[in-house]
Structures are given as C-alpha cells and as structure tokens.
Amino acid sequence: MAEISAATVKELRDRTGSGMMDCKKALAEMGGDVEKAIDYLREKGLAKAAKRAGRTAADGRIFHYIHTNFKVGAIVELNSETDFVAKTDEFNELGRELAMHITAANPLYLTPEDVPAEDLEREKEVYRQQLREEGKPEDRIEQIVEGKIKKFYETACLLEQNYIREPDRKIRDLIVDLIAKLGENIVIRRFARFMVGE
C-alpha cells in the first residue's frame, strides 16, 4: 500500500474538518485518494449523525441577520445538546449562515412534515389543473404532481433548500455535517423572516 504523506492528511483535514486519525484511516481505506476519502468520511459522518438524531438538543443560541438595506432580515433558533457546543466557532458560524440563508431564500416551513395538509392539497390541486390545461394524460397526472411536490418542498422547506453559498448541498447536509464533526445532535428549532411592509 502507498505511503500516505502528511501533506495529503493535512489537505483532507483542511477540506473536511475531521480529526487526524480519522483522515489517516480514510486515506488508508481509499488507497490515498483524497476525493474518495472525503466521500468515506461523509458517509461515516452520516452514520454517526443518524445515531445522534434522537438525542435531546435543549441548549443553543439565537442568531439574526439584517440585510444591508435594513428592509429584510431573519432570526433563527439553533439548538445543541450542551452549552459547550453552542459556544464553538463552527456552531456560531452555522447559526449566522442559516440566518443569512433564510433572509435570502425565504423558506415557509422547516421540514416537509411541517407543511399543513390543506396547504399541500392546495398545491397539488393547482398542479393538477395546470397539467390538465396542458393536456397531460389523466393517468400520468398524479405521478407528475408527486414530482412537482418534491420540487415544492425544495423551495418551501428550509431543510430541503439548496444552500445559497453551495447550491449542490442542502441545508440539512450542513446540519448533518456539523453533528458528525461536533458529536452532538444539532437542531433548527424555529425561524422567522421579516420584511418591511409585509
């Protein structure tokens, strides 16, 4: 097996924020391939995060962002299990980024489960009518509507939205990555967006 250089380990650490031993192990498992090692670490992080998801997150902080025009802003409550994690730079950076993202992306709900049944049905009915007017076959309409609802969730639900700074990652990915890195459950408890005149 090829020798893993300290420079390669450092590169992986810089790119993932993972510990040195985890980086060495990932590189060894992936034959020194940094890109594969990143995927390996993310998968391990997802597994760790899933185990922590059930733990109570009752500590945390409230973050805000006001746009430079002073016309729009957001406030978000981000919870962790302990005050120790809530004081970390990574946790605080995520809170600030979430407040900025909410200001820019204007989510209506936190998760798909938070969308009221009547709102969801109203969306579906609008899509059904549009599809009928377009002349789509009746037996295909429900399938197309389900695809459109998935897109609706990606627009309307914060955790399903693409992160404004990295559009190939969802907001939920940011949360999962930080859970894996800090070792505690982290939860967006609630948020509000304000716009002058609304």
Please state, in angstroms and rounded to a whole number, the distance separating the CA atoms of residues 82 and 85: 6
Given this model, what pLDDT does residue 32 score? Answer: 86
Do the domain assignments include residue 32? Answer: yes
Q: Picking from 17-31, 56-70, 99-113, 117-131, which range would have the lowest pLDDT averaged per residue? A: 17-31
Q: Which domain holds residue 16?
A: 6-52
Q: Which amino acid is at 186?
A: I
Residues 106 and 63 in one domain: yes
Residues 39 and 74 reside in one and the same domain:
no
Give the domain CATH number at 34. 1.10.8.10
> With bands split at pLDDT 50, 70 and 90, how would you rate the model's confidence at 45?
low
Q: Give the pLDDT band (50/70/90) at residue 53.
A: low
pLDDT at residue 99 tops 90: yes
Q: Do residues 137 and 66 share a domain?
A: no
Does the pLDDT at position 191 exceed 50? yes
Q: Report whether pLDDT(190) > 70.
A: yes
Tell me how many domains the chain contains.
Answer: 3
What pLDDT band is residue 67 in, cutting at 50, 70 and 90?
very high
CATH classification at residue 139: 1.10.286
Does the residue 72 lie in any domain? yes
Instruction: Name the pLDDT band for 54 (thresholds 50, 70, 90).
Output: low
Whether 1 is in a domain gets the answer: no
- Residue 75 domain-assigned (yes or no): yes
My answer on whether 16 and 94 are in the same domain is no
Answer yes or no: do 150 and 161 share one domain: no
Residues 106 and 136 in one domain: no
Mean of pLDDT over the chain: 87
Compute CA distances 150 → 62, 91, 145, 147, whole Å: 30, 29, 9, 5
CA atoms of 45 and 66, how far apart (whole Å): 32
CATH of the domain at 93: 3.30.479.20
- Verify that 29 and 88 share a domain, yes or no: no
Residue 155 has pLDDT above 80, yes or no: yes
Q: Rounded distance, CA 143 to CA 149, Å?
A: 10
Is residue 73 assigned to a domain? Answer: yes
Q: Sorting pLDDT into bands at 50, 70 and 90, what band is 21?
A: confident
Q: What pLDDT score was predicted for residue 172? A: 92
Question: 72 with 105, same domain?
Answer: yes
**What is the band of 48 on the pLDDT scale with cuts at 50, 70, 90?**
low
CA–CA distance, 188 with 1 (Å, rounded to integer): 43
